[in-house]
Amino acid sequence: MKRRIFIKKSSSASLAVSLIPSLFIQQDQEYSILELMGKDDIQLYGKGINLRKEAHDAFLEMKMAAYKDGIDLKIVSSYRNFQRQEAIFERKFISYTDDGMDPLDAIDKIIEYSTIPGTSRHHWGTDIDIVDGYRKVDGDVLVPSKFEAGGPYEDFKAWMDENSETYGYHLVYTDHPKRRGFKYEPWHYSYAPLSIPMLEQFRGKNIASLLQHEEFYGAEHFTIGFLRSYIQNNILDINRDLL
């Protein structure tokens, strides 16, 4: 298959003016702690999209613009509730510890890419993991090397770097050399007008105390020191534009 070529200043830029009103940070909405932890039902929009209304609409605008430049924005993962994140965390914890890994080492391994249940940005209906659906890729698609030069998602990454912020979507876990916490995820984008105030409200809660009362596998090993470090490094050490 021939590589698709797109114009650096793509046609999507012409839509920026019409989108500006939707990109203002929405500070007036209050979110409950159950909602922020993925324990409360929220209204989601779009088959296979599953985002809050504003994030859904902005994604469709971005998707249509990408189509014109030969990119098919395909969502691999969007909203996940607490139970779904819990299942992911427990599956990995059990697998690692069954293989003989120390529980604390297993948790450290898990949080290279996966969040502790109740702290995932995917609980909010604002965040997406996306790839180029036109590319047929074997195995796990969410591998950083596949987004690098020469990889199948090279064009996708270049297009998103050039255009995503026009639609309010920002990369969350950047490749900045001094960033700590979760490893680089070139596929994970967040709809800033909603996720910025949600994170602000979330960080105002006593997250560490709340997590100490959870009972999923592995949670018994959480100390207050570990949780405070996790909050600082994994939840808050992200793209500065999303704080």
11-69 pLDDT, tens digit each: 444 444 344 444 556 667 899 999 999 999 999 999 999 999 999 999 999 999 999 99
Check whether 77 has a pLDDT greater than 80.
yes
The rounded distance, in Å, linking the Cα atoms of 234 and 180 is 7
Residue 131 φ/ψ, nearest 5 degrees: -140, 180
The rounded distance, in Å, linking the Cα atoms of 7 and 235 is 35
Looking up tokens 């994030």 gives 55
Structural domain contains residue 14: no
Structural domain contains residue 9: no
Structural domain contains residue 60: yes
Report the Cα 156 to chain-centroid distance in Å: 17
Structural domain contains residue 237: yes
Q: How many domains does the chain have?
A: 1
Residue 109: both structure tokens together: 């391994």
- Tell me what pLDDT residue 7 has: 35
Domain of residue 129, CATH code: 3.30.1380.10
Structural domain contains residue 51: yes
Structural domain contains residue 15: no
Closest CA to 188 of 243, 143, 133: 143
- Tell me what pLDDT residue 28 has: 76
Report the DSSP beta bridge partners of residue 191. 169
Mean pLDDT of 150-172: 98
Residue 75: helix, strand or coil by DSSP?
A: strand
Residue 164: both structure tokens together: 């995503």
- Tell me what pLDDT residue 27 has: 62
The amino acid sitting at 48 is G
Check whether 5 has a pLDDT greater than 70.
no
The rounded distance, in Å, linking the Cα atoms of 171 and 240 is 10
The rounded distance, in Å, linking the Cα atoms of 187 and 49 is 15
How far, CA to CA in Å, does 119 sit from each of 19, 142, 199?
29, 20, 10
Check whether 70 has a pLDDT greater than 70.
yes
What element of type H or E holds 188?
Answer: strand 188-191
Structural domain contains residue 16: no
Looking up tokens 């704080």 gives 243
Phi-psi group of 8: left, alpha or beta (phi > 0 → left; psi -120 to 50 → alpha; rest → beta): alpha
The rounded distance, in Å, linking the Cα atoms of 10 and 184 is 26
Residue 67: helix, strand or coil by DSSP?
A: helix
User: pTM, whole model, 2 decimals?
Assistant: 0.89
Closest CA to 39 of 95, 93, 117: 117
Structural domain contains residue 223: yes
User: For residue 33, what are the domain limits?
Assistant: 25-242
How many Cβ atoms from other residues are within 10 Å of residue 117's Cβ? 26
